[in-house]
Each structure stands twice: as C-alpha cells, then as structure tokens.
Amino acid sequence: EHESDDDSYEVLDLTEYARRHHWWNRLFGRNSGPIVEKYSVATQIVMGGVTGWCAGFLFQKVGKLAATAVGGGFLLLQIASHSGYVQVDWKRVEKDVNKAKKQLKKRANKAAPEINTLIEESTEFIKQNIVVSSGFVGGFLLGLAS
C-alpha cells in the first residue's frame, strides 16, 4: 500500500520555532530591523571594514591564482603547439566560441528579470545599512590593495 504524498512530509511551523529559539527571533523576527538600529556608527564601520577587507583580500588572491592558471595554461598550449606536440584547429575553436557567445546572450536575456530583482533588493539593503555598506566598500578596496 502506498502512502499519500501528504503523509511523507513533515510541516515545520517557523513561528513556533522562532518563539522557542531566541537567537532566531532576534535575527529574523519582527524586531530585527536594519543593522543601523542595533549598533553604534563606529561598530558598524568596523564591522563593514573588516568584512570588506577580508572579502577584498580573498578576491585579490583568488583572482591572481585564476589569472596565473589561465595564463600558464595558454603559455603551455602555445609552447606545445610550436614544438609540434599539439595542433590546434583554430577554425573549430572560433566556431565553438561563437556558439558559446550566442548561448550566453540567450541566457542573459532570460535572466534579466531575476537580475533586476536582485539589484533592487541589494540597493534597498545598501540604503538601509549605508554605514556598514560604506565600511565594507572601503575595507574591500583596502583588501584589494594589500
């Protein structure tokens, strides 16, 4: 005998969960509000700056690693090609690149509404938490420079 689909799922009441777990209620409850209401301006700038610096530093390191890997791969491919180990069909490469460009354009046009929604939500968050956001941007730029 088969169980119905309704019997196989458990319903989780988030309101009851939030009442029992105070940290959840503080984080996502009605009184959570923007960060501006919770911490002093100095604390917000420090929090934004530290997280921004960490993000910028990691972005810089990962970017350098990726650029080195891609550049090194192309260099090795060129050396192997000139040495006669590898023969590259450049017409086929060009055809595949053009095909990939067309696919990316199609996907970009389909994703436009989701991107606009994400941009609007991000803008609203930045407006509500302008001090933390400005600290983050400053820290991010310092992280990139270090």
What average pLDDT does the segment 101-113 reach? Answer: 79
Q: Is the CB of residue 139 less than 8 Å from the CB of residue 58?
A: no
Q: Is 109's pLDDT higher than 90? A: no
pLDDT at 1: 47
pTM of the full structure: 0.53
CA-closest candidate to residue 63, choices 73, 55, 51: 55
pLDDT tens, position by position, 62-97: 999 999 999 999 899 889 888 888 887 889 989 999
pLDDT tens, position by position, 28-71: 555 545 555 677 888 888 888 999 999 999 999 999 999 999 99
Please tell me the chain's helix, strand, coil percentages from 3-state DSSP, rounded to the nearest 5: 80, 0, 20
